Amino acid sequence: MKETKITVKNLNLFYGEKQALADISIDIYSQRVTAFIGPSGCGKSTFLRVINRMNDLIDDVRITGKIQIDGIDIYDKNLDVVNLRKRIGMVFQKSNLFPKTIYENLIFGPRINGIKDRKVLDEIAEKTLIQAALWEEVKDRLDDPALSLSGGQQQRLCIARALAVEPQIILMDEPASALDPISTAKIEELIDELKKNYTIVIVTHNMQQAARVSDYTAFFYLGRLIEYDKTSRIFTNPSNRQTEDYVTGRFG
């Protein structure tokens, strides 16, 4: 039973005169992990940032086409981008925790949403840390600086922080590219666990990772979506030759 969460139709994105994304149409499914793969500069990260409108922060970006989440056009003039971003969590390539304590990082989102009750905040902190499989490791040191954690823990704390605003979609931009294999495995386990409740989109350079964690894979090349299918099919029997060349490591 798959439901469509995000629908994209004929999306084009321009940085000034330069076209970065061309004619992209894709359906992303709820409670599935969708991986975006492709060589550097192919537009997969740019596309990821279209989904929570992070590109708004860059001057001179123009977007045409349609993107709907649950049937709502997210580039509608009346849409509140702040509310949109609260429904979409984002995890970045490198951990970008604030130089505050672990606890303060966790409750940053809820607090700017106006939650002040310490008890509620405590509950959110505990719940999200358990979800991010970090509770056992940090429960006794919530008031320690977040930056005192190891790289892998920091990245899982970033995920926990994103979960704290109760999003429906989680976007991950190469979340494990700066981590060692053990930390990476933990992140991947976590993604597997989270997909029961969330729609997850992950950009990755690591083909094995895409094969391991995702249900669907989209291959981007030069700003175009070349092929999009079930992960098993993309990696064993792709219909496009460019996709095959890329996933088998012949170029990229």
Residues contributing to the site for another protein (CB under 8 A): 52, 54, 57, 59, 82-83, 85-86, 89-90, 92, 94, 96-100, 108-109, 112-113, 145, 147-148, 158, 161-162, 165
| Closer of 97 and 210 to another protein (Cβ) | 97
Which residues, at least 6 apart from 17, have a Cβ–Cβ distance to it below 8 Å?
A: none
Q: Which tokens in the block code for residue 236? A: 């064993």
The sign one gets for the Cα dihedral 47, 48, 53, 57 is negative
- Count CB-CB contacts under 10 A for residue 65: 16
Q: How far is the CB of 22 from another protein (least distance, A)?
A: 25
| Closer of 63 and 147 to another protein (Cβ) | 147
Q: How far is the CB of 163 from another protein (least distance, A)?
A: 11
Burial of 202 (0-12, 13-18, 19+ CB in 10 A): buried
Distances (CA, A) of 5 to 26, 76, 169, 205, 238: 11, 17, 9, 24, 24
Q: How far is the CB of 195 from another protein (least distance, A)?
A: 20
Q: How far is the CB of 172 from another protein (least distance, A)?
A: 11
Kindly report the CA angle at 236 between 235 and 241, in degrees rounded to 5?
A: 75
| Closer of 92 and 135 to another protein (Cβ) | 92
| Closer of 199 and 242 to another protein (Cβ) | 199
**Strand bridging mode 216-221 / 224-230:** antiparallel
| Closer of 154 and 217 to another protein (Cβ) | 154
| Closer of 151 and 236 to another protein (Cβ) | 151
From 89, 85, 83, select the one nearest 106 (Cα to Cα). Answer: 89
Q: How far is the CB of 226 from another protein (least distance, A)?
A: 28
